[in-house]
Homo-oligomer: A and B are copies of this chain.
């Protein structure tokens, strides 16, 4: 797919201070893609996972000419003989990701598709992509955001920079709150709060983030939410929270920084999950979860 030949020197320059050392040829060496181990060929970039035991062997067996490694890999006679180049970095996977994202991942170019329906009072930053059939109300959208097709962003949603909304995400819809009338029939409790989203946040496809009822729903920087999740009204997600697919977070939950929530989990409304906690897949969380604990099960219990 991506057959642009990138000079190795360009990649080294791009990685900058991340590069500790380079051993082997650089001039006239090119990289034309990234690949997994089964599909690595001479021209694809490879990397050796630092946690593996047989790192030296992995580097020597790689089909790739250019390999990102940590300091434990030796530039052996074998590597030298085959004309390989080792790029030494602290974190080969991170360096591999950076190069891949910069040179071989195609993302949407900034621009607003003519079919998108956008309120004239919306504030849209620089370098924003808005896809076909997106519908955006009186919101504030920061620089570098990517808003995919069929995304709905309501009035009073404030989004920081470099956020990414996948298809069908609904941000700021009225939450699920009702009151009963004198006949026992339900009618809506007012939902007039906002949604405040930080920087570098991702919201997955068909995921819903409801507006606050009377105050706000808040999502801090670097939160990543996978597809098909429900984030109810007044939830507060701390920095770097990961919410994997098909998860439901109940109203007014407070989820601390760096919490990891496994697929298809459910958190009861108004629960607090302390920072750095880990909730296993399928967790049904009825109680507050203390900081740093590992919980799982239905109902979820500590398994730390």
A residues in contact (CB < 8 Å) with B: 1-2, 33-36, 38-39, 90-91, 93-94, 96-98, 100-101, 104-106, 113, 115, 117, 131-133, 135, 148-150, 152, 155-156, 166-168, 170, 173, 176, 178-182, 184-192, 200, 204-206, 208, 210, 213-215, 221-222, 224, 226-228, 230, 232, 240, 242, 244-246, 248, 250, 258, 263-264, 266, 268, 281-282, 284, 286, 296-299
CB distance from A229 to the nearest CB of B (A): 8
Most B CB contacts (10 A, CB to CB) among A39, A166, A284 go to A284
Inter-chain contacts of A264 with B (CB < 8 A): 248, 264, 266, 284
Q: In the complex, what residues of B have CB within 8 A of residue A213's CB?
A: 36
A41 to chain B, nearest CB (A): 12
Chain B residue numbers with a CB within 8 Å of A187 are: 97-98, 101, 200
Tell me, rounded to whole Å, the shortest Cβ–Cβ distance linking A93 to chain B: 6
Contacting residues, chain B, for A226 (C-beta < 8 A): 176, 230
Q: Given A105-B190, A186-B240, A190-B97: A245 and B176 within 8 A (CB)?
A: yes
Question: In the assembly, what is the distance between CA of A178 and CA of B221, in Å?
Answer: 15
How many copies of this chain does the complex contain? 3
Q: Are B266 and A282 in contact (CB under 8 A)?
A: yes
Interface of A is mostly: loop
Taken together as a complex, chains A and B put the C-alpha atoms of A189 and B186 apart, in Å, by 37
Report chain B residues within 8 Å CB of A166. 170, 173
**CB-contact partner of A101 in B190, B206, B266, B282, under 8 A:** B190
For A35, A96, A113, A244, the residue with the greatest tally of chain B CB atoms inside 10 Å of its CB is A244
B191 lies within 8 A of A105 (CB) = yes
Query: Are the C-beta atoms of B284 and A282 separated by less than 8 Å?
Result: yes
**Which 5 A/B pairs are nearest by Cβ-Cβ distance?**
A100-B190, A282-B284, A36-B214, A264-B266, A230-B245
Contact of A176 among B2, B38, B104, B244 (CB under 8 A): B244
